[in-house]
Amino acid sequence: MDFSKLIGTAVKGVANIALGGLPDTIMGIVEGIAGDSMPPEKRAELKIAIAQETTKREIAANDAARDAESMVTERAAQLEGTASDLAQLGWIGRLVIGLRGVQRPLWGFGTGWLDIMVFSKSWPIEPDSMTEVAFVLINLLVLGFLFGERAVKNLLPLVTSFLSARQGER
Q: Taking 70 as the threshold, does the pLDDT of residue 79 lie above it?
A: no
| Average pLDDT of the segment spanning 79-89 | 70
The span from the CA of 129 to the CA of 122, in Å, is 17
Last residue of a domain, which of 78, 108, 124? 78
Q: What is the pTM of this model?
A: 0.40
Last residue of a domain, which of 59, 78, 97? 78
Question: Mind listing the pLDDT tens digit for each residue in 91-125?
Answer: 888 888 888 888 888 888 988 899 899 888 888 88
Tell me, yes or no, whether 55 lies in a domain. yes
Between residues 134 and 169, the one the model is more confident about: 134
Instruction: Identify whether residues 98 and 73 lie together within a single domain.
Output: no
Cβ atoms of 54 and 23 within 8 Å: the answer is: yes
Q: What is the pLDDT of residue 76?
A: 73
Tell me, yes or no, whether 12 lies in a domain. yes
For residue 155, the enclosing domain spans 88-169
| Average pLDDT of the segment spanning 123-147 | 82
Q: What is the pLDDT of residue 11?
A: 62
